[in-house]
Amino acid sequence: PLAGAQRTICKDAEFTSLLMETFIGGDEGMPVPTIACDNDFPSVAPLPGSYEILCRTLTCIIRSKDRAGLVYAYGTLGQVHRNHENSGQIFAEGLRIADYPSFPHRGLLIDTGKRYLSLQDIRQTLKLMASVKMNVLHWHLTDDVSFSVNVKQFPRLQKGNPSPF
């Protein structure tokens, strides 16, 4: 219900609607942010991914350095909303968050070449990475001596694989 309802000054309203739906969902108790995409806003750090959230009287303004900053800002708004029973009061009384990444790459290595993980586990890992604003997934799918998925149509993929398929 909230997607598309926010006022936006950004050129990409479809992207911001997707962020709203992804991180905040259709919760009617969430204030509808006014989004300002400003590449030159006075940030605490001139790094990609910088953002600032200002909330007063149930209106939130998000100012971001770039699209990554918008993603992180919406993630933060969603966390405040989900983790505080009185989030409506917090947003109404005022909130200012200025944040930026300390490092350009904040990543995780998943090695399914040596240890199989289900697609559900991979998806859960991606959600958890987003919740802590990690931005790089290095997914090691296969090793040069093995392929960890048994594909009957391509038996040569298993040649040299030490796993018991």
User: Is 0.75 surpassed by the pTM of this model?
Assistant: no
- Of 99, 130, 148, the position where a domain reaches its end is 99
Q: Which domain holds residue 55?
A: 13-99
Mean pLDDT throughout 42-60?
A: 75
Give the residue with greater pLDDT, 13 vs 139: 139
What pLDDT shows up at residue 74?
84
Examine residue 142 and state whether it is found in any structural domain, yes or no.
Answer: yes
Residue recorded with tokens 């930026």: 100
Beta bridge partners of 61: 34, 54
**Does residue 72 sit in the same domain as residue 31?**
yes
Q: What is the number of structural domains in the chain?
A: 2
Residue 107 — very low, low, confident or very high, per pLDDT cuts 50/70/90?
very high
Supply the pLDDT for residue 137.
93
In the listed set 99, 130, 149, which residue is the last one of a domain according to the structure?
A: 99
For 35, 36, 66, 143, 157, the CA distances from 11, given in Å and listed in that order, are: 10, 10, 12, 43, 46
